[in-house]
Amino acid sequence: MTNTRFTHATLTAISTVVAGHKISIENELGYFSEDPAQARRFAAVSGLHTRRRADDDVTASDMCAQAAKTLLDRTNTSTNDIGAILFVSHSADYLLPASAAILQYKLGLPRSCVAMDMNAGCSGFVNALWMAASLVASGACKKVLLLAGDTPGRFQPAANRVVGPIFRDAGTAA
């Protein structure tokens, strides 16, 4: 494992958007053999009492775009200052084109902005953070917009009690 220190780049802000539908564990007793005690036990052990689910027509990049707009507004950052946009997700929103290119257009980023999708599983955000810091430290970019999001609710059955309650629909911008 690499031990990396970021000495010439700073993470300045983070914004998060969670999916609109909030589903309580009590509403999913069917996944716990209709046993409220089993559901309460699961919630107590895992700390997970609710999960979030996006509408079927909402993608991870949609939530990331919303988070990015909030972040850019809140930090008074001009889109012209963004030299690269990195989009991290376990599953692509579309086969083609890359979601980062779509986000580049949606957010009004310059055409000179590097746009790249990254898929690295659970380490995706950390890998993209390393890439962003490297781009800034090298002088290639003044600022990098790192977007990470997923909508596993679109393809993962809620009945999967192993990962279903953990992996939920959200988007972030950093």
Q: Render pLDDT for 1-33 as a digit per residue (tens, 0 to 9).
A: 467 778 888 899 999 999 988 888 777 777 777
93 φ, ψ (degrees, to nearest 5): -70, -35
* Omega prior to 152 cis, within 30 of 0: no
Taking CA atoms, 57 is separated from 19, 60, 78, 85, 93, in Å, by: 12, 10, 29, 23, 10
* Number of domains composing the chain: 1
Q: Where are the alpha helices (DSSP H) in 75-154?
A: 99-106, 124-137
Euclidean distance between CA atoms 144 and 76, whole angstroms: 15
Residue 43, domain member (yes or no): no
Q: What angle do CA 81, 84, 86 make, to 5 degrees?
A: 135
In the block, tokens 């430290």 appear at: 137
Q: What is the pLDDT of residue 120?
A: 80
78: Cα within 13 Å, side-chain hemisphere: 4
119: Cα within 13 Å, side-chain hemisphere: 7
Residue 144, domain member (yes or no): yes
pTM, entire model? 0.88
Residues of the chain with pLDDT under 50: 1
Residue 105, domain member (yes or no): yes
Q: What is the pLDDT of residue 27?
A: 77
Q: What is the pLDDT of residue 132?
A: 96
Euclidean distance between CA atoms 89 and 114, whole angstroms: 17
Q: What CATH number should be reported for the domain holding residue 78?
A: 3.40.47.10
Cβ-based neighbours of 143, under 8 Å, separated by 6 or more: 77, 81, 82, 83, 136
Q: What is the pLDDT of residue 131?
A: 95
In the block, tokens 């629909």 appear at: 169
Q: What burial letters (b/e) apply to 29-38, b meaning 16+ CB within 10 Å?
A: eebbeeeeee
Percentage of the chain surpassing pLDDT 70? 94
Q: Where are the alpha helices (DSSP H) in 14-97?
A: 36-46, 60-74
Structural domain range at position 114: 15-20+56-173
Residue 30, domain member (yes or no): no
- How do residues 44-57 score in pLDDT, each as one tens digit? 888 888 888 899 89
